Chains A and B, each alone.
Chain A
Amino acid sequence: MYGLRLRYLASIFLDAESIQANAKDVAGLMELFQDDQFLPSQAAESNIPRIGFRSVEGTRNLILSGKRFDYFHLPTKNNLDLGDFTVFCQHAISKLSIAIDYFKRKGHRLAAVQEGFLAEMIDEEINSIASNLLNFPPSFSKDIPFEWNWRCASSIERNFGKLSEPTNTVITIIRADFKVQSGEGIIDGLGPNKIRMDIDVNTSPINANARFGAEEIKAFLETSPIWHNKLGEELLSFIHKEQKSE
C-alpha cells in the first residue's frame, strides 16, 4: 500500500502528569525492557522533563509525556523501511504495557496510527484519485487541483478482547508537494507529487474512565493491524475505482 511509511504510532492516553524524568524510574524501566539498544533520554514537554527512549539507530522511540505515552517508529536515513505494521504493534504492546504496569496506571484512550505516502503514481492516476474522492466546482473540475485535502472521521463500534468500544476511524488523504528531508537533503526518492494517506483508529475520548490496562492494550494493538489492513484495502479499491464515463 505505502511507497514510503512516515510513521507508525501507538498511543495510550492517561493521567501521567506527575511522572517526570528521573534516574530511578529510567533505571527501573530499563531493567524491565531488557533491551540494550533502547537507550534512555530526557524528553521535554514544554519545560517539564519527561522520560524518553530511542533506539540507537533512531527508528524505535518511546516518549512518556503528561497525557499520553507514545511508542512510534520513524524512518531514518539508513533505514527507510518501517517493516510490517503487525510487527510494530507487537513491539508497542511490549513497551507500552511495561510502562503502564511500572507506573501502575491505566489509560482512557488507545490509538494505532499509520502515516505514509502511497506508492508512486503517474499524473493521470493521481487526478483520478482526486475525482473519486472530491466533487469539484466548475472552476476546479476542468483543471484538476494539484493540492487537495480529504479527511473523513467516523465513529465505529469495534471489539477487542472482551471490550466493545466506539472508535474514531479517521482517514486523511492529501495531495501536496511534500518533501521528506534529512540533514543531507531529500531522502525519499519519490516524485514531487505524492499522495499522503494516514489511518488513525482510536477509542473515543468521550469516556474518560481509566480502564485500559496491559490486557486491553494487547487486545487493541493485536486487532489494530486487521482493522488497518481492511481499511487500507477498502480505500485503495475506492480511490482507484474506474470513473464512469458520462
Chain B
Amino acid sequence: MSNLAYIQTPLTDSYLKNFKKEEKDDYDLSKLVQNVEIVDVKASGISGAVEMFSQGDSSTSNGQDQRKPSIFIISKEKDFKFEVIYTLIEEPIEDGYSHPAENIIEETIKTYPLYAGNWVQSLYIDNLNNYTLAAGILRCIGRLNPNITQPWGSIMAIGALLHFDVEVREAAVRAIEMWEDPTIIGYLERREEKVPWLADYIKQVIKDLKR
C-alpha cells in the first residue's frame, strides 16, 4: 500500500489571483501542493520515531503512507505543476498549434512514469473550478499519444464529462475523440448533454468511434 497515490487537497482560487507571471522565483511553490499529512514525530532516540512498531495482523489501518511520497518526488511534482500552470496562463491554447505544456507533460510522463499520471490528475482536480485551466490541461493531454496517457487520461476525461462548464466538457470530448477510445462509447451514449452543439458533437464522436 505504500505506493498508493497520495491525496491532495485542492488549490485555492486565491493563488491564481496572486500569481506573478513575471517572476517565477518569487512565487511560493509550496502553495501548489496543499496535501495534509502528518509529517513529523519527534523521536527521542536513535531508533527513530515512536511509530516504528510492528502492528502485526490485528490492525487494518494502512497508515498515511499514500499521502507521503519522498521529498524529492514532492519537489518534482511541485515543479511540474508550476510549469504546466505557468505555460497555460502565459500562452493560450490554439487549434492546430502545439502548446509548450504538452511537451512538459509528455517529458514528465516519460521521466516519471509511475507518478506523472497522478500529478496530471491532481493538477486537473485542483484546478477544477478554474475552467480555463482545467480545459487547458485536458486539451493538452488529449493531444498526446494515448499509449502514454492511458488509462488515466480516459478516466480523467470521463470525470470531466460531468464538469459544470461546457468548455471543460468539450475538452473531454475532444480528448476522447483524439484517443479513439471505444471503451467509453456506452458511457458517452448514456450521458445527457444539455448544450445542443456539444450534444451534436458527442453524437458525431460516437458515430466515428463506432466505425
Contact = CB atoms under 8 A, between A and B. Distances in A.
A68 B4 CA distance: 12
B151 A21 contact: yes
Contacts of B1: 45, 65, 68
Interface residues of A, number: 72
Interface stretch (B5-13, B84-92, B203-211): B5-13
A139 interface: no
A77 B152 contact: no
Interface stretch (A87-95, A118-126, A144-152, A210-218): A144-152
Contacts of A179: 38-40
A27 B125 contact: no
Contacts of A26: 151, 154-155, 158-159
Interface in B34-88: 34-44, 49-51, 53, 55-62, 64, 66-67
B210 to A, nearest CB: 15
Nearest to A24: B183
A49 B115 CA distance: 11
Contact of A31 (B61, B67, B187): B187
A170 B162 contact: no
Interface stretch (B25-33, B95-103, B194-202): B25-33
Interface string A125-153: 00000000000000000000111110101
Contact of B184 (A20, A27, A76): A27
Main secondary structure of the interface of A (DSSP, over half): strand
Size band of the B side of the interface? Answer: 35 or more
A77 B34 contact: yes
A149 B5 CA distance: 28
A113 B155 CA distance: 29
Given A146-B44, A179-B40, A109 B4 contact: no
Interface stretch (A50-58, A96-104, A157-165): A50-58
Contacts, number: 205
Given A57-B9, A183-B31, A178 B118 contact: no
A54 B129 CA distance: 15
Given A39-B159, A54-B125, A202-B60, A76 B36 contact: yes
Interface of B: 1, 3-5, 7-10, 12, 30-44, 49-51, 53, 55-62, 64, 66-67, 114-115, 117-118, 121-122, 125, 128-129, 150-152, 154-159, 162, 181, 183-184, 186-187, 190
Interface of A: 6-7, 9, 11, 13, 20-24, 26-28, 30-31, 36, 39-47, 49-52, 54, 56-58, 61, 63, 65, 68, 70, 74-78, 109, 111, 113, 115, 145-149, 151, 153, 168, 170, 172, 174, 176-184, 187, 198, 200, 202, 205
Given A76-B10, A178-B41, A198-B61, 16 more contacts: A20-B151, A23-B150, A27-B183, A31-B187, A39-B162, A44-B115, A45-B3, A54-B7, A54-B125, A56-B129, A77-B9, A78-B12, A174-B50, A176-B49, A176-B50, A183-B34
Would you list the 5 A-B pairs with minimal beta carbon distance, nearest first? A177-B42, A27-B187, A23-B154, A111-B60, A42-B152
